[in-house]
Chains A and B, each alone.
Chain A
Amino acid sequence: MNLLTILTNLAQTMLSTVTDVIPIAVIIFGFQFAVIRQPVPNIGKVLTGFVWVVVGLTFFLVGLERALFPLGKLMAQQLTDPVFIAGGEALNAVKQAITLSWQDYGWVYLFAFLIGFSTTIAEPSLIAVAIKANQVSGGAIGIWGLRISVALGVAIGISLGCYRIVVGDPIHWYIIAGYVVVVIQTLFAPKLIIPLAYDSGGVTTSTVTVPLVAALGLGLAETVPGRSPLIDGFGLIAFASLFPMMSVMAYAQLSQWYAQRKRPEAAQS
């Protein structure tokens, strides 16, 4: 590691972040000037805000690329390696001779759960939506309550997705069953939370989660006998988008139930 490579790395990432922002800025300012035709209030503050976003994303991405992604990929490889899974004594056995059942992948599921949870907590898009939801609900929806329930959803989704890759079930049965659960929950969940719960599915999987989770899925599909990385490696992100909907609605249902149970008690005392 030397300073020069870090600096060129930063400069390149900055350049590509700027290229990502340019179409957005063109659309926003194009409409602002051509259609709305009104000056933007606090234009200076907004522009500095944009600069902070670009600088922030640049550092964030370079840091991920240099430290977390390589490590995450390495760990996914090590954990899914049949030799590691079968334990040290199998080292001498011929690789093809090792037969593993789905229970042997316990550490993989645990890793999937924890990595799903922790990357979602650090997900910038989710932080943004949680801040907004907290403002709009006047504090009724806690930033941390939302972030933790979404993170739990992603964690469960990814470990289940890993199990699916290991056993090789077709993905659509899981997704369709998930949809049925979401629809049933929608009937019973507090109305206020429904749109937010649906949104939480989409925001969870971006900058931090996608690359790490994709590495895990591909690693598993490559090493589990009989799986094709191209067909079975996909689908983890879909799981990570589906389960937060359920967990956020469940969170709202639980807190509603808890509040209802508490109220009569409070009235008595």
Chain B
Amino acid sequence: MLGSIRDLAPIIAVIVFFQLVIIQQPLPNVLELLVGVLFVLLGLTFFIHGLEQGLFPIGETMAHAFAKKGSVFWLLVFAFALGFGTTVAEPALIAVAAEAAEVAASGNMIAADEAAKASYASGLRFTVALSVGLAIVLGVFRILKGWPIQYLIIGGYVLVVILTLFAPVEIIGIAYDSGGVTTSTITVPLVTALGVGLASSIKGRNPMIDGFGLIALASLTPMMFVMVYGMVML
């Protein structure tokens, strides 16, 4: 609880400072604001507690169980399901996909009616979810093999740059953003625990070097896939 207060203090300070000193207007709805801040505090405290009790342990036990079972096939299926399943339901992605459909419609790239926009947006969501699923599969495979992450990431960057040259201008901003929005609050702890758990239960892998990096891949592949989607659809 004390920790949560310390986490939130900067936000409050910035808002109060700007509102009173720069914009020089009184804070609207002070009471509502206080209740909201109290909720955020409680929420952060409960979330961190639950993280350490539930999400971290289950992620690691599953990683250990898969490593012991030795079935690479099922591990990769699990990795894909986790990436795809959590991304397709991600609220931030749903919001970005809807915005992207607006952009495409206003640029006369797709028909401006609701049906065309909806199908464009859901196509985009499935594209991103597919790319995150594949990214987690690739990342888990990398942990098994012990490849250094930087070659994958740099290779990915080169692809992103090449695709940028060919993708329609309207999709580029959205494609770049969709890399950032794919990994949600519940997915991140689970995926991190999975990676670290795997790396620490396989001989010869260092959890620090090999365990991290799954999220980085999950942020990179959506950029490529969305640009390709933009090129194919538009």
Contact = CB atoms under 8 A, between A and B. Distances in A.
A117 to B, nearest CB: 7
B46 A55 contact: yes
Interface in A176-223: 176, 179, 182-183, 186, 191-192, 194-196, 198-199, 201-207, 210
A59 B8 CA distance: 14
A118 B14 contact: yes
Contact of A176 (B39, B51, B164): B164
A50 B81 CA distance: 19
Nearest to A232: B173
A61 interface: yes
For chain A, the bracket of interface size reads: 35 or more
30 contacts: A16-B91, A20-B184, A24-B186, A31-B74, A35-B74, A36-B66, A42-B57, A49-B53, A49-B58, A60-B44, A63-B39, A71-B33, A75-B23, A111-B14, A122-B10, A124-B47, A125-B189, A127-B7, A136-B196, A137-B208, A175-B160, A175-B164, A195-B216, A198-B150, A199-B212, A201-B180, A202-B188, A231-B103, A231-B173, A241-B180
B36 A67 contact: yes
B179 interface: yes
Contacts of B72: none
Contact of A115 (B14, B25, B85): B14
Interface string A123-136: 01101110111001
Contacts of A19: 89
Interface in B202-233: 206-216, 218-219
B118 interface: no
Interface in A64-111: 64-68, 71-72, 74-75, 78-79, 84, 107, 111
B177 A234 contact: yes
A31 B211 contact: no
Given A56-B47, A119-B11, A230-B102, A171 B173 contact: yes
B177 A206 contact: no
Given A1-B29, A49-B54, A20 B177 contact: no
A150 interface: no
Given A24-B186, A53-B186, A179-B161, A136 B207 contact: yes
A210 B193 contact: no
Contact of A45 (B31, B57, B192): B57
Contacts of A125: 183-185, 188-189
